[in-house]
A and B are shown apart, each in its own frame.
Chain A
Amino acid sequence: GLGQGVGLTPPCRSHPAPPGQGWACRAVLGEGHQRTVRRVAWSPCGSYLASASFDATTCIWKRQEDGFECVTTLEGHENEVKSVAWAPSGNLLATCSRDKSVWVWEVDEEEEYECVSVLNSHTQDVKHVVWHPTQELLASASYDDTVKLYQEEEDDWVCCATLEGHESTVWSVAFDCSGEHLASCSDDRTVRIWRCYRPGNQEGVSCSGTDPTWKCICNLSGYHTRTIYDVSWCHLTGALATACGDDAIRVFEESPSSAPQQPSFSLAAHDSPGWVGTLHCSASVLRTSVEAEPSLKKRPRVSFSRHMSLMARAVLPVSFLE
């Protein structure tokens, strides 16, 4: 069948690192998938790794002393799985596919996985799924130009909101640290910020029954010159980073005079060809700086400190065209 896991793999020998320095390749899990691996996600407890593949399966790998073992392969999607995400509780997993569906899986203490819902709300490919930081609320981004939200109501998973506004494929979404805001990025070259209004809210936004309403409160337009593939919302600083098809990374920060119902964001940093400048990134834990210098070929050679490069890797999407 598809996705045969083959036990443990010896550590990669081609990139040795002196002890205590740099990063070393500890494992190559080469036997799990038959096609492109599109997404990987660590479980909240850190013991498991999920991998979503164009071969229509999702593998669950368990960390062992000397490598990883494939403990199960989740099958059912009709074609490419585009994304996989663990809920903060660690008991739920979501997958999504070009087959237009979002699947919710439950895992028990015996490491048994069961599909508890197949959600067919989207009318086209689902590109990405993301869990709310604290609640069991799921968001999905789709080729049908919408973002949808799902939660469990009376033992059934249902689509509880549809966010319309983007004019083309939504590639990714990200919640802020509170989960009260969602950022979405699109092939329409905009980033939109949505805010959750609960029933009985002060601002007078109408809600249907007990469900909150999500309203678009900010549209970042005119900054990106091509498709925006990914967005990441820093839970420490509130900064928004974007990954764009024009080869640039952009970081946005909310302006100090920003109003809650109509926030304004400004471009805090922009790493792209020809840019010469200094990017300062500070967080409560790290303080670091980055300098970009033009290289001979007039493309900036950006040197990152070790901590900064970890953050940069967190926002750059894995390239899926060889």
Chain B
Amino acid sequence: SCLIAGALSPAVDIIRTIRDPEKPNTLEELDVVTESCVEVQEIAEEEYLVVIRFTPTVPHCSLATLIGLCLRIKLQRCLPFRHKLEIYISEGTHSTEEDINKQINDKERVAAAMENPNLREIVEQCVTEPD
């Protein structure tokens, strides 16, 4: 439906320019996220469930959770409509994907992580749009 397409495009635009925590590239350039990795479902009047499945470049656990955190923070801040968010590592790309998925979808873990000044600084650098 065109309502869902209207929700899809902002989500894709928001995540494609997020920078990788380690490399001087965006997540799109590194194929961590693509247009097809975003799924949107309408769950209530003017409210959408946005599901992201991303593919980390390296199997390193802490980087995957960091990317997941960046995705969540930027989408939460920038999506222009009411939403619920689920972020997953795309299936089969990581040995501890269940562990990582659980962490990045636990809102208390996310909130506490963003109060850690070091972690917050890295996330801000990854999600801030360049001028």
Contact = CB atoms under 8 A, between A and B. Distances in A.
Asked if A pairs with B, the answer is yes
Given A82-B108, A143-B106, A274 B84 contact: no
A10 interface: no
B45 A54 contact: no
Contacts of A187: 106
A127 B44 contact: no
Contact of A273 (B44, B84, B112): B44
B108 to A, nearest CB: 7
Contact of B111 (A143, A225, A320): A320
Interface string B83-117: 01000000000000000001000111111100100
A84 to B, nearest CB: 15
Contact of A320 (B43, B45, B47, B108): B108
Nearest to B86: A226
Interface in A239-260: 245-246
B112 A80 contact: yes
Contacts of A225: 43
Contacts of B47: 273
B107 A226 contact: no
Listed residue (B102, B108, B111, B115) with the most chain A CB atoms within 10 angstroms of its CB? B108
A80 B109 CA distance: 10
A72 interface: no
A168 interface: yes
A298 B45 contact: yes
A320 to B, nearest CB: 5
A286 B101 CA distance: 44
Contacts of A307: none
Contact of A274 (B44, B102, B106, B110): B44
Given A82-B108, A320-B108, A35 B45 contact: no
Interface string B11-39: 00000000000000000000000000000
Contacts of A168: 102
Interface in A278-322: 298, 320-321
A123 interface: no
B106 A273 contact: no
A98 interface: yes
Contact of B106 (A35, A36, A54, A169): A169
Contacts of A36: 111-112, 115
Interface in A140-184: 143, 168-169
Contacts of B84: 226, 245-246
A98 B103 CA distance: 12
A321 B111 contact: yes
B107 A321 contact: yes
B13 to A, nearest CB: 23
Contacts of B102: 143, 168-169
Given A143-B106, A187-B106, 6 more contacts: A35-B112, A98-B109, A169-B102, A226-B84, A273-B45, A320-B107
Interface of B: 43-45, 47, 84, 102, 106-112, 115
20 contacts: A35-B115, A36-B111, A36-B112, A54-B115, A79-B112, A98-B112, A169-B102, A169-B106, A187-B106, A225-B43, A226-B84, A245-B84, A246-B84, A273-B44, A274-B44, A320-B108, A320-B111, A321-B107, A321-B110, A321-B111
